[in-house]
Structure 1
């Protein structure tokens, strides 16, 4: 799921003029100029490049998260946060997927929004609303399916490609309209929006559903989680939501095609995800009428409600069936199940007890443990003739081969892509995110196209230092300087490593060496100035901040007020004036806020 209407809103920014009526001739002339200058393909390529570049920028990722939390608020319930973190960590660490060379590692946050939704930004930041967690009743497997879906949007870079395709459709339709003059602009907008929803975003939603299923099952979650999530979502959006924009009209569910929306109909998605579960079981496990679990068409049991507030039978059916599907998938013979009948008429089997929990419950209440044993034995006996298991393994091998090709493409990424990975790793270290910094450096060191291995060592050293691993940091930093002593960046990065580890004298020595290598590089002067300031040697600090300003005037923001006053009085006065104005604006805003609150209380 992506944020509703996000594609339409994004394109509206591109085509803002189209929504403000102007004389028709002027509109055509304006679009004629744009279309002739860019062309439809040019519009697509330009938009795609811009969004992909943003998606591969750590600062944009951090800003995505910051703005989202500023707007939605950070969730306050620690249990919800722990739940989401656990699911995302498991998906990210154990899911079978490949990050593209120009993609960032996933990051995420749980917001305080009550809306039933989650979304993946082009920066691979996944935003999850507490409304989604509560709407799915905190069910681990249902949440895993939704979050795997969002990860697929990021992995396949759907936001970037959808935005670019939408832009191209706007340009294309505008070009057609200006040539024929047969359609007014209002009708054209409606047609383009419909085309975008049907031809651009809907296909990626289906792809994300399947991708999410593959990620969550490979990470060990219940294969029935996706269909269960859709069943729950359908009920929630029809009978429970308090958000008008989320409401799903039950009278529209039997339409022959998806309605005017950028997401497929919930029931269609439920059926598709149920089929993925069946395929995952080598075709053995199905759910009939959303409540009866069958093996090779023979009913095993019919589920009942387990929730006091609503009929959650469909969810129960898919989750119980999902446990069976996982067993059929993971075990190549009936005896591998470790089936053991219980005194209450149920049965137990090998596997994750959490995944099997509902299966055990309904086997016990229906007293069908013995029947399960017989059906499982018959199912495997029939595979020799049907070839179902060979087909399953062949399909999985085909997907594995495709992922292997994707991994090979990442490892063969060109020098420019590797340089960007190293740059992003350095940015993560600046933010204190050492896990992602080191993850990117692992990709850099695995590449044969790293053209500056010495620099890579000192960049990785910064990540180790930020993590507190002094031994690894110094080992990498020393090696980087030894192999790349003619590069000023190896010296300034080792200076930063030594500074982080508390070795100020060593850091200053590296700064002096960096100045010898390149007297015009600003970084050594900056670090030296900051170090002397920390050591309360104001005279030396003044000297190096002054040199910093001489070689790079744009670094003025890094010079403290104390030193800037003597270095450039004009720049200092401007800063003080701006600080005063900003302070006055904040105070004014606070007074207005307090005034409004007082009126409300009175």
Structure 2
């Protein structure tokens, strides 16, 4: 994210500066005028509005994913892809969170980049590098914590606000320096970068850590996964990384503030996430010295290494503690644990077998099953006096009430926001993404501010058709037309639904009705022309493409070459010329890329 912020600041620097240096006094006056005209607050608001609008645009989301995969490549290991998809699907479907009214449903992809990283774009596209998966050894709970962290960036729209704050800080520093006539662009750039890291990015990383913890625990993952991920990340960034920008100097841990890094030191984040785990357990479970798991301060067991390549005992300690924290959180009595001491000195309990697996391993190794039983009994016995469980449930109720307010605000979104949700749903259907299209239509139908319910029915019908649910698609499309027979859009959308379901004659009839309702709307002509083309009736197809062109000349891009050549030879020749130029530029770029790669190979 920091690279993107710096790119924005570079653009601002160019926009703010002059091509020809002005005398000092004139420069100061020019900046003063600009400050009065725009202002720091204006810079912030305009930048924020622009990025938020992009973040609520399905085409931008799709394009950001495509561009990312073009640059990084798609991951080739099918097992890695299945792992990440499974975690993200579980977080998205079962995590407790609220998408804002102007936010898109999450989408994601695993790239082939070896860099230890993941990020969330302003469009709610989460990019995950295979380097992260391998760096965390494919641990499900650690990955869930990191991906929940990235989702929180999207939910809280951190990227948009970071861009806007960086822009405002840039302008503020520029005005301050210019007013004294002591502008030093190199020093100012360094100040801006530091300001981004310290004041913009670092605080939201802590917020994202907590948000990620809440999402992943509500989805059923191990509450120790976040602290374990930080423990692993700290080791990786110190001893294994080959990327200079990732390197974490172990001697810098005690600095009062992280340096130019755009993330807090992993040790600080580990401690915070460990505390969230403890709080989640009603205060019962802690980890001492990153290896000894305690219940109410009494040591239960000390973990050992289970990895030959490095000391992974901190990870093991947090994951064992997390399994206990999950039980303390989920069960209101000691008996509800279903604890049973095994013959080999270990113990078993109710809950997710995967989450408990590491706990069982170390309980057996330490013969600590009976001790666990006794400590659990004592912990619950002491809750009457401490009020720990009441405090836990009260804190959870407070968070639940806050989320309920957020959900109510989304449902009460104004008509303009609802219209955008419907538009985004329609665009998802264009891309064949019925799941996200239907998800948005659920929000539209839940809103009291949907001012065009007939249109909503036909848009939802398109999503059902994209999913292959013919019965639901026909029912919604017919209802939409019945309730909005004077709206041309209900007819063209039902035409598209019928076309998708293979009913070309019915689709053509709807196109004719759409043209009758509004002869200036281009969509009836477009769908009719495409249908005739599909049916092999070139004459009729050309006739309707011609009518489309007459109604909307900008729709020429939708007219195939064979028809455009007859309809407008000049427009056709221009297209051929542009296509030739684009091919030549693409071939040139490919040649330059191949030359660059050849030079790099020869040097190596």
Q: TM-score, normalised by structure 2?
A: 0.96
For residues 363 and 36 of structure 1, what CA distance do their matches in structure 2 show? 68
Structure 1 residues 394, 601: CA separation in 2 closer, same or farther (over 3 Å shift)?
closer
2:38 corresponds in structure 1 to 38
Structure 1 residues 600 and 68, CA, compared in 2 at 3 Å: closer, same or farther?
Answer: closer
Q: Which stretch has the larger CA shift, 575-584 or 9-18?
A: 9-18
User: What is the rounded CA distance, in whole Å, between the counterparts of 1:595 and 1:176 in structure 2?
Assistant: 46
Confirm or deny that 1:356 pairs with 2:356. Answer: yes
Instruction: Please report how far the alpha carbon of residue 528 of structure 1 lies from its aligned counterpart in structure 2 after TM superposition.
Output: 0.6
Which stretch of the first structure deviates more once superposed, 208-217 or 573-582?
Answer: 573-582
Post-superposition offset of 1:255:
1.5
Using the TM superposition, name which of 169-178 and 267-276 deviates more. 169-178
Aligned counterparts of 1:327 and 1:511: Cα–Cα separation in 2: 60
Q: Which residue of 2 aligns with 1:457?
A: 457
Which is further off, 528-537 or 228-237?
A: 528-537
Q: How does 1:381-530 map to 2 (within 5 A)?
A: 381-530=381-530
Q: Paired residue for 1:365?
A: 365
CA distance in 1 between partners of 2:600 and 2:38 (Å):
53
Distance 2:79 2:524 in 1: 46
1:10 Cα offset (Å):
2.9
Deviation at 1:46, TM superposition (A): 0.4
Looking at structure 2, the residues matched to 160 and 434 of structure 1 have their Cα atoms a distance apart, in angstroms, of 27
Partner of 1:305: 305
Q: How many Å apart are 1:203 and its aligned residue?
A: 1.0
Q: Is the 8 A contact 2:286 2:296 kept in 1?
A: yes
CA distance in 1, matches of 2:75, 2:30: 46
Question: Where do residues 76-155 of structure 1 align in structure 2 (5 Å cutoff)?
Answer: 76-155=76-155
* Contact 1:259/1:265, CA 8 A, preserved across alignment: no
Q: In 2, distance between residues paired with 1:166 and 1:458?
A: 42
Deviates more, 1:395-404 or 1:248-257: 248-257
Matched residue, 2:5: 7
Q: Tell me if the contact between 1:456 and 1:480 (Cα under 8 Å) persists in the aligned partners.
A: yes
Render the CA deviation track for 1:143-186: whole Å, top value 9, x for unaligned.
00000000000000000011111111111222222333456343
Instruction: Report whether the alignment pairs 1:169 with 2:169.
Output: yes
CA 347–597 in structure 1, closer or farther in 2 if over 3 Å, else same: closer
When the two chains are superposed, the root-mean-square deviation of aligned CA atoms in Å is 1.8
Shift of 1:296: 0.4
2-structure distance, mates of 1:147, 1:595: 38
String of CA shifts for 1:433-459, please: whole Å, max 9, x gaps.
000000000000000000000000000
1:13 CA displacement = 2.6
Aligned to 1:280: 280
Between the aligned partners of 1:471 and 1:316, the Cα distance in structure 2 is 51
Distance change in 2, residues 1:523/1:304 (3 Å): same
Query: What is residue 71 of structure 2 aligned with on the other side?
Result: 71
Contact 2:223–2:319 (CA under 8 A) maintained in structure 1: yes
Measured in 1, the distance between the counterparts of 2:119 and 2:11 equals 20
Write the deviation string for residues 175-208 of structure 1: whole angstroms up to 9, x where unpaired. 2223334563433332232222212111111100
Q: Is the 8 A contact 1:5 1:262 kept in 2?
A: no
Cα 1:591–1:204, aligned 2, differ >3 Å: closer, same or farther? closer
How far apart, CA to CA, are the structure 1 residues paired with 2:111 and 2:149?
18
Contact 2:8 2:167 in 1 (8 A): no
Structure 1 residues 586 and 10, CA gap change in structure 2 (3 angstroms): closer
> For 1:299 and 1:463, how far apart are their aligned partners in 2?
56
CA apart distance, 1:595: 6.7
Equivalent pair of 1:18/1:185 in contact (CA under 8 Å) = no
Aligned-partner Cα distance in 2 for 1:496–1:42: 43
- What SS does the aligned partner of 2:571 have? helix
Give the Cα separation in 1 of the matches to 2:483 and 2:331: 51
Distance in structure 2 (CA, Å) of the matches to 1:14 and 1:142 = 38
Aligned to 1:377, the other structure's residue is in SS state helix
Q: 1:384 to 1:123 in 2, by over 3 A?
A: same
8 Å Cα contact 1:337/1:349 also seen in 2: yes
Distance across 2 between alignment mates of 1:598 and 1:174: 43
Residues 1:52 and 2:48 aligned together: no
Whether the 8 Å contact between 1:344 and 1:364 is mirrored in structure 2 is yes
What's the secondary structure of 2:38's corresponding residue?
helix
How far off is 1:35 after superposition? 1.8
The CA deviation at 1:257 is 2.4
Which residues of structure 1 form unaligned runs of 5+? none
Q: Secondary structure at the match of 1:15?
A: helix
Aligned residues: 600
Alignment of 1:576-587 (within 5 A): 576-587=576-587
Q: Could you tell me which residue of structure 2 aligns to residue 331 of structure 1?
A: 331
Q: State the alpha-carbon separation in 2 of the partners of residues 482 and 7 from structure 1.
A: 50
**C-alpha separation between the residues in 2 aligned to 1:589 and 1:179?**
45
Pair 1:184–1:352, CA change in 2 (3 A): same
Residues 66, 403 of structure 1: alpha-carbon distance in 2 compared, 3 angstrom cutoff: same
Give per-residue Cα distances to partners, 1:404-462, cap 9 Å, x unaligned.
00000000000000000000000000000000000000000000000000000000001
Judge which range, 342-351 or 4-13, deviates more.
Answer: 4-13
Give 1:354 deviation, angstroms. Answer: 0.6
Cα displacement string for residues 219-254 of structure 1 (whole angstroms, at most 9, x for unaligned residues): 000000000000000000000011121111111112
Query: What are the equivalent positions in structure 2 for 1:196-235 lying under 5 Å apart?
Result: 196-235=196-235
Q: 1:362 to 1:597 in 2, by over 3 A?
A: closer
1:124–1:154 Cα contact (<8 Å) kept: yes
CA contact (8 A) 1:411 1:447 kept: yes
Alpha-carbon separation, structure 1, partners of 2:85 and 2:356: 22
Partner SS for 2:435: helix
Q: Is the 8 A contact 2:231 2:267 kept in 1?
A: yes
Cα distance in 1 between the residues matched to 2:496 and 2:435: 19
CA distance in 2, matches of 1:565, 1:318: 68
Unaligned ranges ≥5, structure 2: none
CA distance in 2, matches of 1:27, 1:209: 44
